[in-house]
Amino acid sequence: MGIFGDDGGSRALIFGLDAFLVLHVVLHRALRNHAENRFRSAFPWCLILGAGACGAADLTFSLLG
């Protein structure tokens, strides 16, 4: 039994969150030179890249295992 009920719903939620985290990094990278971008310091980039790396790792392990 998953954390959010049946295992299917929990897996779908986690898969969607992992995909969002990876896409979030891609969008931040693509829009880094936008005029309204305020993520210039290292701290928010560490959070964004760290979350994306965790999402990518979790997606990789769940798809391979």
Q: What whole-number distance in Å separates Cα of residue 27 and Cα of residue 54? A: 16
Bridge partners, residue 5, by sequence: 2
Q: Could you tell me what percent of the chain has a pLDDT over 90?
A: 66
Element (H, E) at 37: none
User: pTM to 2 decimals?
Assistant: 0.81
User: What is the model's pLDDT at position 2?
Assistant: 55
